[in-house]
Structure 1
């Protein structure tokens, strides 16, 4: 089963499970919104419609949060899973948020445009390291001057021992939050597609892609929010 097929299979229940499977949900997504919001608000203040590109957008969870925080944005959502994109479009239409959806793989060329923010949540770790580096270069090139790239991501521990500890803590926390054995088993099955990298490596790749003010803005075990700004 491909990554897209694995996520299409859970499109109807994906959002409801997020708060159990991402124990730091509010701080994790909230930080991503906080980092992405300033150039969007600056575009509004300059009389422009802020443009956002959401990579691996899934059901549109991060896009919806951004649209709520900065009303007036226009969203472009990219994902390879059609059922996930369909759910995202339904939710955005229900809230009258301007958007377009593009069915594409993250290894493909990005939709043409100059974006005030390029964002992603829990998607880029499905690429291998060369794929991540290539995507970071394309994302940086798609940014308008002063635009930001923000990745809310599942990351690897910097050592094998820490990576094992990340998994132990995650398993304990999601169990406390009510994840059933079946839900945990299904999540682990999807995680067979994962190829996470460390925060340090990915921040270095963002700098190599030409971004400045690169930083990790939030981290709780395997969940991290990092990014940078176009000059």
Structure 2
């Protein structure tokens, strides 16, 4: 079964496990929204509709949070799993958030236009390192001057021992939060396709892609929020 098929099969129940499988859920997603929001509010202050591109949007969790935090933002959601996007569209329609859907994977050309923010949550780690670097370059090209990229991501440890420690801590945390063996096994099946990279290396790649003010804004073991912005000129 491909990674897309796994996510298609999980679309109807995917969100139910998020707070267990992402133990730092509130800080993790909250930081991503906090990093993205100033550029969107600046667009509103300039009399423009803020444009947001959500890469690997899945069920639209991050898009929904951004739509709630910055009313008036318009979201473009890209994902390779149509069933996940159908769930996302239902959530955003119920919220009254303007949006459009693009079915494509992260190696495809990005949707045309200029974006005040490009965001992603728990998706880019499916690419290998060359794929990540290439995507970061494409992201920099579609950002408006001053636009921001923020990636709420699962990352690798900088050493093999730390990576093993990340795994042990995650298993302890999700078990304490109530994940049972079936839920853990389903998560492991999806994670078998993951290719995470250390946050330090990814910040370097963002700088090489032309972004500035690159930083890791939040990190709790394997979960990190990092990004940067396109220069004004």
Stretches of structure 1 that go unaligned for 5 or more consecutive residues are none
SS in 2 for 1:151: strand
Map Cα deviations across residues 56-80 of structure 1 (whole Å, 9 max, x no partner). 0000000000000000000000000
Give the corresponding residue for 2:121. 121
What SS is found at the alignment partner of 2:215?
Answer: strand
* 1:131 paired to 2:131: yes
Root-mean-square deviation (Å) = 0.4
TM-score, reference length from structure 1: 0.99
SS in 1 for 2:131: helix
Deviation at 1:3, TM superposition (A): 1.4
Where does residue 22 of structure 1 map in the other structure? 22
Aligned-pair distance for 1:100?
A: 0.2
Alpha-carbon distance between aligned partners in 2 of 1:96 and 1:28, rounded to the nearest angstrom: 24
1:163 maps to what in 2?
Answer: 163
Distance in 1, matches of 2:173 and 2:225, equals: 19
Quote the residue 2:222 is aligned against. 222
| Residue equivalent to 2:39 | 39
* Aligned twin of 1:141: 141
Once the two structures are TM-superposed, the CA of residue 107 in structure 1 deviates from its matched residue by 0.4
- How far off its partner does 1:24 sit? 0.1
Residue 9 of structure 1: SS of its match in structure 2?
helix
What does residue 52 of structure 2 align with? Answer: 52
Q: CA deviation at 1:16?
A: 1.1
Q: SS at the partner of 2:58?
A: coil
The DSSP-based 3-state class of the residue aligned with 1:83 is: helix
Deviation string for 1:143-197 (max 9, x for gaps)? 0010000000000000000000000000000000000110001100110100000
Q: Which runs of 4+ in 1 moved over 4 A?
A: none
Q: What SS does structure 1 have at the residue aligned with 2:156?
A: coil
Count of equivalent residues? 231
CA distance in 2, matches of 1:129, 1:90: 33
**Which residue is equivalent to 1:190?**
190
Post-superposition shift, 1:52? 0.0
| CA distance in structure 2 between the aligned counterparts of 1:115 and 1:30, rounded to whole angstroms | 20
Could you tell me how far apart the structure 1 residues matched to 2:93 and 2:76 are? Answer: 13
TM-score (norm 2): 0.99
